Amino acid sequence: MSEKTIAGIRRGNQFSPNHIGNDAAIFSLTAEHLRKKGYRVNEYTESDLLTKDITEDCLFNMVRDWYSIRKLQKMEDSGRLVINSGYAIENCTREKMTRLFISAGIPYPRSIILRTDETPDAAFKEAGFDSCWIKRHDFHAIHREDVTYVGHLEEAKNILKEYALRGIETAVINEHLTGDLVKFYGVTETDFFYWFYPSGKQHSKFGHEQINGTAHEIPFNKDYLQQLCHEAADVLKVKIYGGDCIIDEDGTIRLIDFNDWPSFAPCRSQAVPYIAECILRLIND
């Protein structure tokens, strides 16, 4: 087999809050695994994507900057293979994800999408909840306040005003769900799926996991969780993913977050062969 060259694009450090080392590790191990399979991998930084002429036909990436996402989308439109797709990365932003999940019937919290300069009283009254999570609509969390838990309407008003002052025009507001918080990682069209309870573990960006407290290990259908996550990944068109869900006291599962190519920190060594398998399958197809 003649050697094929793949481009790998790292995530910019500013998009790995408290996880720079973990994100770098999963990228490096994936690149090394692809090399062992006989492929040449040229590595680039996220800033390289915008400043250099990247000519490889196949790219795997962990980018998050909007300019990077748009550049990937243009590459895809010209016929190049991009994993995860730039369109999939955009689908994982809060507002798009919320609209896509609700439209597809994916189990998800009751949600409101509001302009930050709006008065939220009427929307909260209609929605029928007070405690909630306020999230910037256009991005993953970079700062702690980009995802904020609030216990009542007055707190929500203050956070929305703060968002408006920061230039964040729209917020996604998800009802707070009580129950066990579960984190998961998966790779589509492979057998890889991993989940765990984050309570008591040192795996957190901003400590939000403490809101739901220590897991009670409520029984739930593990096979259904994997099926649901793969369905959600298909809705978002993302291949390599991770996220969070809440297990209600009766075992009901609802997704609360879904991310393109997370760090896989608790299961990195197990995940890498499957991530490489996914990339190679898409290349060969």
DSSP class of residue 265 equals: G
Q: For residue 133, is pLDDT > 90?
A: yes
pLDDT of residue 218: 96
Q: For residue 203, is pLDDT > 60?
A: no
pTM of structure: 0.91
pLDDT of residue 206: 41
Q: For residue 130, is pLDDT > 90?
A: no
Contact indicator for 237, 91 with CB cutoff of 8 Å = yes
Q: For residue 194, is pLDDT > 80?
A: yes
Give domain status of residue 125, yes or no: yes
What span, in angstroms and rounded, lies between the C-alpha atoms of 103 and 51? 37
Domain range for 59:
5-86
pLDDT of residue 212: 74
Pairing mode, strands 81-83 and 5-9: unpaired
Instruction: Lowest mean pLDDT of 49-53, 161-165, 209-213, name the range.
Output: 209-213
Do 14 and 50 have their domain in common? yes
Do 114 and 132 have their domain in common? yes
What span, in angstroms and rounded, lies between the C-alpha atoms of 137 and 154? 20
pLDDT of residue 19: 77
Residue 189 — left, alpha, or beta (φ > 0 → left; ψ -120 to 50 → alpha)?
left
Do 53 and 123 have their domain in common? no
Confidence tier at 1 by pLDDT (50, 70, 90): very low
What 3-state class would DSSP assign to 81? Answer: strand
What span, in angstroms and rounded, lies between the C-alpha atoms of 50 and 71? 7
Give Cα 110 to chain centroid, integer Å. 19
- Mean pLDDT, the chain, integer: 92
What span, in angstroms and rounded, lies between the C-alpha atoms of 93 and 181? 21
Cβ neighbours of residue 250 closer than 8 Å, sequence gap 6 or more: none
pLDDT tens by residue, 85-122: 999 999 999 999 999 999 999 999 999 999 999 888 99
Do 170 and 185 have their domain in common? no
Which residue among 144, 175, 206 closes a domain? 175
**What CA dihedral angle connects 46, 39, 259 and 187, to 10 degrees?**
180
Which residues share a beta bridge with 201?
Answer: none
pLDDT of residue 242: 97
Q: How many domains does the structure of the chain reveal?
A: 3
Give domain status of residue 272, yes or no: no
Angle at 21 between CA 20 and CA 24, to 5 degrees: 85
Which residue among 118, 143, 175 closes a domain? 175
